[in-house]
Structure 1
Amino acid sequence: MSREILTVVETVSNEKGLNPEDIFEAIEDALVVSTKKKVYTDQPEVEVRVSIDRATGDYDTYRYWTVVADEDHEMPACQLAITDLDQDEWSIGDVKEEQIESIEFGRIAATQAKQVIIQKIREAERNLVADAFEPRVGEMMYGEVKKQTRDGYIIDLGDNAEGYLSRDQMLPREQLRAKSRINAILYHVNRENRGAQLLLSRTHPEMLSALMQKEVPEIAEQIIEIRNVARLPGTRAKIAVKTNDHRIDPVGACIGMRGTRIQAVQQELDGERIDVVVWSDDPAQFIISSLEPADVSSIILDEDTQSADIIFSTNDQLARAIGSQGQNVRLASELTGYKLNMMLEEEYQQRQANESKAFIELFYERLEVDKDLAQALVDIGFTSIEEVAYVPVETFYDIEGLDDDAIDMIQERAKEVVIADELVKQQNMKEPSQELQDLEGMTVSWAYKMAQKDIITVDDLAEQAVFDLEDIEDLDTETAGKLIMKARESWFNE
């Protein structure tokens, strides 16, 4: 039987190109299954191990038990309680083995081994495909439609590789036929044992980038660089490009003579309209370019919130910027990474007037200054009490008639308001118990953050699960678990 095992390993290894070690492990697994079925029919929980000598093919079989604490001793067939053993020799987690008689590597064991080996062959083949294609994720594949499934198409990529193009990764009105040839982006390699392995897409932004690279030599040669892509697949897209050679017009190069280059890409994408936009490191200029053909009157950027107010002089220009069903502004926003607020000049002026009025009332009421001074504070750009309190004194020098004493008085009032507001805020905050603050491993910051979640006492913490604390900043799951277990110590002590 030992010679038979070595023969099986050698034959399968040579025929299927598998690692002999994988085949030995498959046979060991098969012998374990056969042993449990033949010897321990009524005790499926019994644990068995088979060890094959890789040189001779001889094998030994062992039954084993795991040493556990008394309270965890629930499966005597595969567990031993620590108190039943010599505790000087054994510890919790140790494994105690006992050699048993080995069964023959007969027909049943061989059948089991065959099934395991087939599974390992499939796994090995999937791994080979994954290893070959994973470095190519994001690359455009060219293949032939092999067959249609309920939810998509199998695409023959050649060299015994198949991709899967699901319907939700196809263009909206696209219909494919068997034997037709298509381009698609490889966007994911699935290493799991279930489902398609090479996942393809014709809707990903990379698809447009790859087609542009194919049609525009300057992109392939990196004279022109694609900086970003935004798509509504099959309908409209915007692509931002930058030239690395000032002598070359990036838009003209991408469009081609009489539009031949861009038309070839559009034809591949079922007529998807493509706008080529010049990329700029100036966000305002980039946004203006992305909204073409609309004529922007003015733009106000807020880089902190990544938003911009875009102002237009006429309804016609505003409508152009928004586009049919909002497509133009939606793609421009995605391309630039900014939230774009579109409005007419009258709307913007009205909004500014309303905001100015609100700030004037704020300063008039909270700082107890007259309306003219409140107006002057707004005119030079103040929008909050905190700004008035803590900006440099020189900021106020643009207000006519204010001397240093008046400026000091205004800033002192502003600081008093800020402090008063903070005290009110603190009074409304819930305070953790001292016992919770003193808990081993706890920090004052964590304790106060827990208090805002109504975890005031140690007992409150003991009743929580780790996921209840996951939104507390700087508190990782391992530390949260330790704090909860520390809080629960009183339960065990009682």
Structure 2
Amino acid sequence: MSMVQLPGLAEMINTISRERNLPKHAVEAALQEALLKGYERYRRTLLLDTFMQFEEGYFENFDVELDIEEEGFLVLATKTIIAEVENPDHQIALAEVLEVAPEAQAGDTVVLDVTPDQGDFGRMAAIQTKQVLSQKLRDQQRKLIQEEFQDLEKTVLQARVLRFERRSVIMAITSGFGQPEVEAELSKREQLPNDNYRANATFKVFLKRVADGPHRGPQLVVSRADAGLVVYLFANEVPEIEDEVVRIVAVAREANPPSRQVGPRTKIAVDTLERDVDPVGACIGARGSRIQAVVNELRGEKIDVIRWSPDPATYISNALSPARVDAVVLANTEDRQAHVLVAEDQLSLAIGKEGQNVRLAARLTGWKIDIKDSAKYELDAEFGAADDTSAEEELETEPQTELGSEGEASSMSAEAEEVVEDVVEPVGDEG
């Protein structure tokens, strides 16, 4: 049979490849699948009157061969040689094959040209081909994006604002120099309240994940609110972190506080094994230059850098900075509950506006923290009674982002491993 002609086939492949940023072989593969679906539609229509049942996988022995130079395609079928044919789509008579191939035997397979005539392919089959081609091209794009960005998950990329859809910001990002831009979604909950997302504005974003499956819209999910972004920014600004002299042990971030009266805030715990290195000072920099660069990128977010300690009492005391702590009583080490004693004038500072300071300290340390007035606590202890009117803030502990020092016990959570392993280690490749 003659080839089904597709005038302008080569130019069509080049155009699609250029417009969709797909390699030519990917476009050709999508077109082959689409034409095969079109042929399947043609065969179903042809056998409509026979009430034939097409089982799943019925057309798996058919294939489409593109001829770019001749600008057309052939349909090929792999058939089994058999004495008596029951299904002509899958089988061919032995006697018929012996006329051209005397050495053929029953049970062998042959590949036959079953290309329909140009006019027989039909309008419905052509429409089916067009619809399937569009879907297959989208699938190829998604597959290409997944392969391109899979290794970049949990890293920070540069992004540019394209447009707005509902409450999400659609951004353009690239995997590297010279690579085409790909759309990513920055949802409302992943945005920062102080960001100004105007068209073409650029931001550093944290690539949370590459969505898999038939997901409509952008396949890449990015964040400005993830703790991993803070880790990256500090690692990028502080050479001691890149050189592994200073280590980020834990991060607790509240980028979108529950109340508009409270601004975004982050607490980050750092440590070092070098005695002559001040890890907090290294992160802050001369006259606050290093931490200020991070604050500027996060649009003024408040950041507390504190010293990690293997001693829970010291660590909790440091975590409540900038409040001055008189004492920390580990009330229940098994349930990780602690009473923190502060002077009356430090109560509000320790608790923070709407409880934000103590809430972040609890997340950072992994301890449930009760803030108490030192004077009243000592008075209660003296009389052996609890004062129900004491100022306290009881908070449920959320999983903290924590890494312990070598040779020292620490309560590392799954979140910690994800943030530090996936974000800190790759730093150095970014500018």
User: Residues 34 and 112 of structure 1 are in contact (CA less than 8 Å); yes or no, is this contact kept in structure 2?
Assistant: no
Return closer, same or farther for 1:177/1:53 CA change in 2, 3 Å cut-off.
closer
Structure 2 partner of 1:74: none
Q: CA deviation at 1:113?
A: 2.3
Cα distance per residue 1:415-436 (max 9 Å; x no partner): xxxxxxxxxxxxxxxxxxxxxx
The equivalent residue for 2:332 is: 302
Shift of 1:169: 1.2
Please say if residues 10 and 20 of structure 1, whose CA atoms lie closer than 8 Å, have aligned partners that are also in contact: no
What is the alpha-carbon distance in structure 2 between the residues aligned to residue 41 and residue 279 of structure 1?
78
Find the aligned partners of 1:289 and 1:196 in 2 and give their Cα distance.
42
Report how far residue 125 of structure 1 moved: 1.3
Structure 1 gap ranges (5+): 63-96, 356-494
Query: What corresponds to 1:241 in structure 2?
Result: 270
The one-letter code matched in structure 1 to 2:341 is I
Write the mapping of 1:5-44 to structure 2, written as runs, cut at 5 A. Answer: 16-18=24-26, 23-37=31-45, 39-40=47-48
Deviations 1:175-232 (A, max 9, x none): 2211221111111211233132111111111111111122212122222111111112
Equivalent residues of 1:147, 1:155 under 8 A apart? yes
Equivalent residue, structure 2, for 1:327: 356
8 Å contact 2:325–2:341 — kept in the other structure?
no
SS of match in other structure, 1:240: strand
- The structural deviation recorded for 1:333 is 0.5
| Residue identity opposite 2:384 in structure 1 | A
Tell me which amino acid in the other structure corresponds to 2:233: L
- The amino acid that maps onto 2:333 is E
SS of structure 2 residue aligned to 1:148: strand
Distance 1:210 1:53, change over 3 A: closer
Does residue 1:208 correspond to 2:230, yes or no? yes
Distance, in Å, in 2 between the alignment partners of 1:322 and 1:145 is 37
The structure whose Rg is larger is: 1
TM-superposed deviation, 1:140: 1.1
C-alpha change, 1:13 and 1:147, in structure 2 (3 Å) is closer
* 8 Å Cα contact 1:169-1:200 kept in structure 2: yes
- AA aligned opposite 1:206: G
Quick one: structure 1 residues 20 and 259, their matched pair in 2 at CA, closer, same or farther if it must change by over 3 Å?
same
- The 1:12/1:121 distance shift into structure 2, 3 A limit, reads farther
After superposition, give the CA deviation of every residue in 1:470-492 in whole Å (9 maximum; x if it has no partner): xxxxxxxxxxxxxxxxxxxxxxx
Structure 1 position 185 matched with structure 2 position 206: yes
Question: Paired residue for 1:396?
Answer: none
Aligned partner of residue 384 in structure 2, secondary structure: helix
**TM-score, normalising length from structure 2?**
0.65
Aligned positions of 1:269-308 closer than 5 A:
269-293=298-322, 294-308=324-338
Letter in 2 for 1:30: G
Change (3 A) 1:3 1:210: same
Partner of residue 129, structure 2 = 113
* 1:277-308: CA deviation from partner (whole Å, max 9, x where unpaired): 11122222211110123213232153322322
Q: Once the 2 structures are TM-superposed, how far is the Cα of residue 58 of structure 1 from its aligned partner?
A: 2.5
Query: Once superposed, what is the RMSD of the aligned Cα atoms?
Result: 3.5
Q: What is the rounded CA distance, in whole Å, between the counterparts of 2:49 and 2:187 in structure 1? A: 45
Aligned to 1:353: 384
Mapped to 1, the partners of 2:305 and 2:50 lie a distance apart of 72
Return the alpha-carbon distance in structure 1 between the equivalents of residues 184 and 192 of structure 2: 17
Cα distance between partner residues in 1 of 2:134 and 2:325? 66
1:342, distance to aligned residue in structure 2 (A): 1.9
Question: What displacement does 1:326 show?
Answer: 0.8
CA distance 1:287–1:54, change in 2 (3 Å): same
Q: Which amino acid aligns with 1:190?
A: A
C-alpha displacement at 1:252, in angstroms?
Answer: 0.6
| Unaligned segments of structure 2, at least 5 residues | 18-23, 66-73, 81-85, 91-113, 175-179, 256-262, 387-431
Say if 2:165 is the partner of 1:149: yes
Match of 2:419 in 1: none
Any conservation in 2 of the 1:284–1:301 contact (CA below 8 Å)? no
Q: How many equivalent pairs are there? A: 320
- Give, in whole Å, the separation in 1 of the partners of 2:133 and 2:49: 24
Residue 187 of structure 1 aligns to which amino acid in structure 2? K
CA contact (8 A) 2:158 2:204 kept: yes
- Matches of 1:122 and 1:213 in 2, distance apart? 37
Q: Alignment identity in percent?
A: 34
- Find the aligned partners of 2:292 and 2:236 in 1 and give their Cα distance: 13
Question: CA 1:111/1:239 → structure 2, altered by over 3 Å: closer, same or farther?
Answer: same
Taking the TM superposition and a 5 Å limit, the aligned residue runs for 1:19-418 are: 23-37=31-45, 39-40=47-48, 47=55, 49-50=58-59, 51-53=61-63, 57-59=75-77, 98-99=87-88, 104-158=120-174, 159-193=180-214, 194-233=216-255, 235-293=264-322, 294-312=324-342, 314-345=343-374, 346-347=376-377, 350=380, 353=384
Q: Which residue identity does 1:204 align to in structure 2?
A: D
Distance in 1 of aligned mates of 2:202 and 2:187: 16
2:33 and 2:133 in contact (8 A); partners too: no
Change (3 A) 1:287 1:105: same
CA distance in structure 2 between the partners assigned to 1:277 and 1:117 by the alignment:
56
Query: Is the 2:328–2:338 Cα contact (8 Å) retained in structure 1?
Result: no
Partners of 2:63 and 2:10 in 1: how far apart? Answer: 14
Partner of 1:397: none
- Asked whether the 8 Å contact 2:269–2:305 carries over to 1, the reply is yes
Q: TM-score, normalised by structure 1?
A: 0.57
**Aligned letter for 1:195?**
G
SS in 2 for 1:114: helix
Q: Does structure 2 conserve the Cα–Cα contact (< 8 Å) formed by 1:145 and 1:180?
A: yes
Question: 1:322 is aligned with what amino acid?
Answer: I
Tell me, in whole angstroms, the C-alpha distance in 1 between the residues paired with 2:42 and 2:326. 78
**For the Cα contact (< 8 Å) 2:158–2:202, is it kept in 1?**
yes
Distance between the aligned counterparts of 2:341 and 2:52, measured in 1? 74
Q: What CA distance in whole angstroms lies between the structure 2 residues aligned with 1:190 and 1:238?
A: 30
Amino acid at match of 1:235: P
Question: Runs in 1 of length 4+ with deviation above 6 angstroms?
Answer: 5-14, 41-45
Distance 1:303 1:8 in 2: 76
Q: Distance in 1 between matches of 2:196 and 2:52?
A: 53
Matched letter for residue 157 of structure 1: I
Structure 2 CA distance for aligned equivalents of residues 141 and 239 of structure 1: 22
Going by fraction, where is helix more abundant, 1 or 2? Answer: 1
2:269 is paired with a residue whose SS is strand
- Residue matched to 1:443: none
